[in-house]
Amino acid sequence: MTEFRIPQNAPVKPHKRHWQYCVGSGHALLALRTDWTAQLRFIHDTLGIERVRFHGIFCDDMRTLTDLSMQMAVAGAEQFEEYNFNACALAYDNVLAAGMKPFVELSFMPEKLALKEEGRPLKGAFFYKPNIVPPADDAAWRDYIQAFVRFLIRRYGAEEVRSWDFEVWNEPDLPYAFWNGTREEYFHLYEITARAIKDVDPLIRVGGPATSSSKWVVSFTDFCKAHGVPVDFISTHQYAGDPLGGVDDQGDEEGQAVPGESWEERMRRGAETLKTVEEKSFLNGFRALSPDKSETTDIPNDLFRKNAAKVRLQAGSLPLYYTEWNENAIFSAATNDTRKVAAYDVKAALEVADHVDGSSIWCFSDIFEELHPFPQEFHGGFGMLTQHGIPKPVYHALRMLREAGDARVDLGPNATLGEIGCAAFRGDGETQVLLFRQRMKNLELPAEKVRIAVELPKAPAAVTVRRIDETHSNPLKLWQEMGSPVQLTPAEVESLKTRSAVTDEPLSAAYADGVLSAEAELGVNDVAFIRIKE
């Protein structure tokens, strides 16, 4: 049996809820939807998250830059062009109406500004086909960026816009996905973009490099220092199940990931894989081509903690934001809907708290279509909520962290490092103890008992527990028991919300000689939140 003791006189430190700084979403066009906005408001109101970040504010589906030739194929019509940021404003209006602020990711390249050259694909691989190349003309890009910033200032006021963060691009270290260019070309894009923004208003915050796997921070900061380029914060990303390595993996001489096989080879391998799938649904085929590597590969659970500590030193005095992180980088992985994500996110959030200034879990909702808009309510999306707003286990885990006290009890460096971890908090006349059992592979192992010994000056008024386990906060299981219907009625959605809600239940405890003793059973990836009221 594992035991944790919480001394009465143990030192405390602030409970840093860095994950409340921001949360991720899909791409900008989704922010025009009423259901997206309603879910964002729910996330803000119940979890206290302050900002939202999404891709593609400049994607062609936002119609920010057009010319007459796009409507009429007449010689010379391309000379008649216009900026139109009204759709951007509607997206940001919805963010503000939800009580939040936008974390502005400046992406991707409008086609009219995009560099078009042989051998450099224009489009990225994702569902909405972003243009992922550098600008063809620096001056034209500069004018466009400055027009965008002036539009925002006129609409929202300089003081409001200065409270936002502006991040240049997304994951430029990933060719074919988000950036068909070199590392040096990204640094140049960052430079001309940051200078353009600062020339409009030097108090607007700009940062990058927004890389995957905690990469490029040293080379990025060295570049900015060497060229006097303004940078107000460092941003990068980290997933435990990230297939492309970590902070020490800088790729080839350009800092890019080295392709392991050709596209043709991947397609041949994929075709052989699909032959083995019996039920030929789109989702099953997708999962066969993109397997959940956290279930099939021995992926360490401490990559985020270790890399965040390294990047904290690399960033120096600049604020460090992890603008994407989560347990799994594989879209449609079945475990994304399970408590595996809840246990990992709790553990990771606690372990990196001393290294980051703000972070953004990817993402808040399954209203999301980066690779495909699946119709199934539970399809392995990244969201804390399903597409119809049913909270997943990770949402309930973050609700526990939100409601934990503002003072975190220092239990020493090893309290969260093992498979079974513990964190304790105090505030509002309570002591709270958060227990979790986290494993990367969702193995069927026997439950283990955990005992807590909490030193208290007097007997508590009440002891309760909230659980995330197989029978608590498991809407996926309830949906499967319904027969996994692709379509849910509004009444079924509300029923699943009610039946999977987490509630405080009495917990048996004993108090003697100034110590409260209680036990909990934890299966793999279970979470328990014990509240001890004075």
β-pair type (358-361, 22-27): parallel
Could you say which of 191, 295, 324, 377 is catalytic? Answer: 324
- Dist CA 211 CA 217 (whole Å): 8
Query: Of all helices (H) and strands (E), which one includes residue 424?
Result: strand 420-427
Could you say which of 105, 167, 171, 377 is catalytic? Answer: 171
**How far out from the chain centre does Cα 408 lie?**
24
Give the SS3 label for residue 483. coil
Active site residue 261: no
Sign of CA dihedral 366, 379, 172, 250: positive
SS3 of 258-299: CCCCCHHHHHHHHHHHHCCCCCCCHHHHHHHHCCCHHHHCCC
Active site residue 82: no
- Reading the block at residue 191, the tokens are 């430079």
Q: Which of 8, 23, 5 is nearest to 321 (CA)?
A: 23
- Dist CA 450 CA 3 (whole Å): 6
Dihedral (C-alpha) 208, 212, 217, 220: value to the nearest 10 degrees? -50
Q: Which of 319, 331, 397, 393 is nearest to 362 (CA)?
A: 331
Contacts of 300 (CB under 8 A, 6+ apart): 240, 440
Helix orientation angle between 138-156 and 183-200, rounded to the nearest 10 degrees: 40
- Dist CA 532 CA 70 (whole Å): 65
Q: State the catalytic residues.
A: 171, 324
